[in-house]
Amino acid sequence: MTAIREYLGRNVRQYGIIGALIVIVLLFQVLTNGRLLMPDNVASLVQQNAYVMILAIGMVMVIVAGHIDLSVGSVVAFVGGIVAIAMDKWNLPWLLAVLIGLVVGALVGVWQGYWVAFVGIPAFIVTLAGMLIFRGLAIVLVGTTIAGLPPGFNAISNGYLGNFLGYVANRDMLTLTIGALAIGGLVLTQFRARATLRKNDLEVEPMAAMVGKLVLFALLLGFLTWVLSGSTGMPIVLVIVGVLILAYTFVLGRTVFGRHIYAMGGNLNAAIMSGVNTRRVNFGIFVNMGVLAGVAAIVTTSRAGAGVAAAGDGFELDAIAAAFIGGTAVTGGVGKVSGAMIGALIMGVLNMGLSIMNVDPSWQKAIKGLVLLAAVAFDLVNKRRAGGR
């Protein structure tokens, strides 16, 4: 029991944020008279906040490395405008337009990564300039709203997987199957990761703590799956987000590139002395952020069914807030994709719950700002306590 208490004490933020999400969901479930967790509302929660989750994945990597990216909202507008133009003006197939959007996003990342990694300009300045540059280009390119996009493209964010497994007790079996596979994959990867740590004589969390964590996550995933199975079906965009979460969790936790990101954020000088090619890593981080901004642009444009110059307004703040609320350290070196996803869900639940309650948008922003401030303050207080011990 002592070992479990010590482990929980060192990881209070990780478990606290899960508890905070549960409390916030239950609170709004009561305040909205049960409407928050209606199946269609849960599906809308995922579809409306997919862009936050996608951008937060990249933002975690940026912040862990000790940087910040203020340009992603403008990049979303810029890339989304190009994708809409490619379909509407150039009459290209929507799949080709999507590919062009991803390439443009990567090129934006190359542009910004060059200035940060090889010229040495701080990322704050480079991305602040990028925020202005790409917002201006979006306004020039799009001008008026470009609507009437192909149904196949619009289905990326608004569509659902076909229900070819049928229904049981009015529940979509395909959604339940995907949820069960996700839970099984989570359990398998956690036990394999634990076995790898033990093989290399590294510290592992107590078995009771790991089992408790897995049970909690399995219950959350199972509940989400059960609720979603009562709606139209499994949103296509949720599958996209799920694949990205799995891929980037692997990249950050199991690859050399991921370890170098943590090393740079934890102690840059020590990373350089250890032979980490910081220029290459920084360049890769911003190219990756550009690609993910391209994915978010496709999702956002698909959701709106149109290319809009004002798209992406404030997206960078949502992504940064999700990362910080999810436990990413302000000083770098600490952060997980899973934590950022919980942070994004907290932001999404706040948005939807307050909207259902018809709270004024100005008050919604103020409340989200207070939540962000509280999350960062909680992180700093815990670090000071840990330092004192």
Q: Which pLDDT score, from 0 to 100, does residue 378 have?
A: 72
CA dihedral 257, 319, 82, 284 (to 10 degrees): -10
The yes-or-no verdict on residue 174 having pLDDT over 70 is yes
pLDDT tens digits, one per residue of 120-147: 999 999 999 999 999 999 999 888 888 8
Q: Which pLDDT score, from 0 to 100, does residue 65 have?
A: 94
Region 229-247: mean pLDDT is 89
The yes-or-no verdict on residue 358 having pLDDT over 70 is yes
Confidence of residue 289 (pLDDT cuts 50, 70, 90): very high
Region 228-238: mean pLDDT is 86
The answer to whether the Cα torsion of 87, 92, 96, 100 is positive or negative is negative
Of 17 and 292, which is predicted with more confidence? Answer: 292
- What tokens does 267 get? 């102690």
pLDDT tens digits, one per residue of 13-64: 566 777 788 888 888 888 888 888 888 888 888 888 999 999 999 999 999 9
Q: Which pLDDT score, from 0 to 100, does residue 143 have?
A: 80
Q: Which pLDDT score, from 0 to 100, does residue 109 have?
A: 97
At position 297, the amino acid (one-letter code) is A
Over the chain, what is the mean pLDDT? 87
Q: Which pLDDT score, from 0 to 100, does residue 6 have?
A: 52
> How many other β-carbons are positioned within 10 Å of the β-carbon of residue 350?
17
Q: Which pLDDT score, from 0 to 100, does residue 202 have?
A: 66
Collapsing DSSP to helix, strand or coil, 336 comes out as coil
Q: Which pLDDT score, from 0 to 100, does residue 196 have?
A: 75
Region 152-167: mean pLDDT is 85
Q: Are 146 and 82 in contact (CB under 8 A)?
A: no
Region 291-298: mean pLDDT is 96
Write b or e for each residue in 265-304: b if 16 or more Cβ atoms lie within 10 A of its Cβ, otherwise e.
bbebeebeeeebeeeebbbbbbbbbbbbbbbbbbbbbbbb
The yes-or-no verdict on residue 376 having pLDDT over 90 is no
Q: Report the C-alpha gap between 325 and 356 in whole angstroms.
A: 23
Region 83-112: mean pLDDT is 96
Region 254-275: mean pLDDT is 91
Gyration radius (Cα) of the chain, Å: 21
Q: Which pLDDT score, from 0 to 100, does residue 232 have?
A: 79
Confidence of residue 383 (pLDDT cuts 50, 70, 90): low
- Residue 326: φ, ψ to 5°: -80, 5
